[in-house]
Amino acid sequence: MIDPQKTMQRDKCDRCHQPTNGVTTMSMFNQEVICIPCKDKEKHEPGYKEAVEADHAAIRKGDYNFPGIGRGKKQMPH
């Protein structure tokens, strides 16, 4: 079992490369570990709802390594 607190730790945001001050979260679109301002922006991006639903659907199927649907894409993965 991977410790999410360790794998999600970043000194700098994967997306905007600004210091995270130790506060990070996983993107819903892909496997980037991002800062809270980026997360807030991501919530308003097209397809965010689909990304969340795809992530939850994968977890229900037991797929905890689901990489996300990608940003700016509408199509669902198989």
CA 69 to CA 29: how far, in whole Å?
5
Task: Give yes or no for residue 13 binding Zn ion (CB under 5 A).
Answer: yes
Contact with Zn ion (CB under 5 A): which of 4, 7, 9, 16? Answer: 16
Distance from C-alpha of 74 to C-alpha of 48, rounded to nearest angstrom? 9
Nearer to Zn ion, 30 or 58 (CB): 30
Residue 59 interacting with Zn ion (CB under 5 A): no
35 binds Zn ion (CB under 5 A): yes
41 membership: H or E segment, kind and range: helix 36-42
Residue 51 engages Zn ion in binding (rule: CB under 5 A): no
